């Protein structure tokens, strides 16, 4: 009897999940996530809490390194899952990633304070990696052109972030545009 009840409940939940996934394909992730109480609820209800499955089925990148390698973006659902500390300064709402280092192989190493800044990509909320090191950095509009870190140093910082937060599995999500 218990097995029959479990089977019925499982079939009902699968049907519910299938309906939600069909609605996502029809109306989009943003619309459906608003209807079910947020992106976390959507992923839990329709994709069993699996971010990679969500990314593949909706062609949504979870961790996205821009083609020009100048920016790294994390999907809002992943950022919420990581539970990062909020930073509020100068009217900005950011998430703290931590301190990282960059520099030439045999030269000076410099500290870099990285955080995430909210943005929108593919009509969904993402967080862009930004940060400062003294008067140098990237991602902020107030940094003048000569003080923006180049691709080599950004890559060093991005790789440390990817390793620290174990983001590589999310970067391998197969998405097609």
The ranges assigned to domains in the chain are 1-49, 60-177
pLDDT on residue 4: 52
Average pLDDT over residues 36-40: 85
Please say if the pLDDT value at position 5 is more than 70: no
pLDDT per position as a tens digit, 7-28 = 555 655 557 888 888 888 888 8
Q: How confident is the model at residue 139 (pLDDT cuts 50, 70, 90)?
A: confident
pLDDT on residue 59: 85
144 vs 132: which has the higher pLDDT: 132
Determine the Cα angle at 76 with ends 73 and 79, to 5°.
Answer: 85
Cβ–Cβ under 8 Å, residues 158 and 72 = yes
Closest to 102 measured CA to CA, from 144, 153, 36: 153
pLDDT on residue 163: 96
* Paired sense of beta strands 92-103 and 72-75, if any: unpaired
pLDDT on residue 142: 84
pTM score: 0.83
Please say if the pLDDT value at position 101 is more than 90: yes
pLDDT on residue 111: 93
Mean pLDDT of the chain: 86
Backbone angles phi, psi at 19, to 5 degrees: -65, -40
């Amino acid at each position: 009897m218990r097995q029959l009840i479990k089977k019925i409940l499982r079939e009902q939940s699968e049907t519910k999940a299938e309906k939600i996934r069909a609605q996502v394909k029809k109306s989009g992730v943003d619309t459906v996530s608003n209807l079910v109480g947020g992106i976390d609820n959507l992923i839990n209800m329709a994709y069993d809490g699996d971010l990679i499955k969500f990314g593949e089925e909706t062609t949504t990148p979870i961790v996205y390194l821009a083609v020009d390698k100048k920016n790294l973006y994390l999907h809002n659902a992943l950022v919420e899952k990581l539970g990062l500390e909020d930073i509020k300064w100068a009217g900005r709402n950011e998430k703290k990633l931590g301190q990282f280092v960059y520099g030439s192989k045999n030269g000076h190493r410099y500290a870099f304070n990285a955080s995430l800044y909210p943005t929108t990509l593919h009509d969904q909320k993402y967080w862009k990696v930004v940060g400062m090191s003294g008067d140098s950095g990237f991602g902020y509009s107030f940094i003048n052109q000569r003080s923006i870190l180049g691709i080599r140093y950004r890559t060093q910082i991005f790789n440390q972030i990817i390793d620290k937060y174990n983001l590589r599995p999310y970067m391998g999500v197969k998405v097609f545009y």
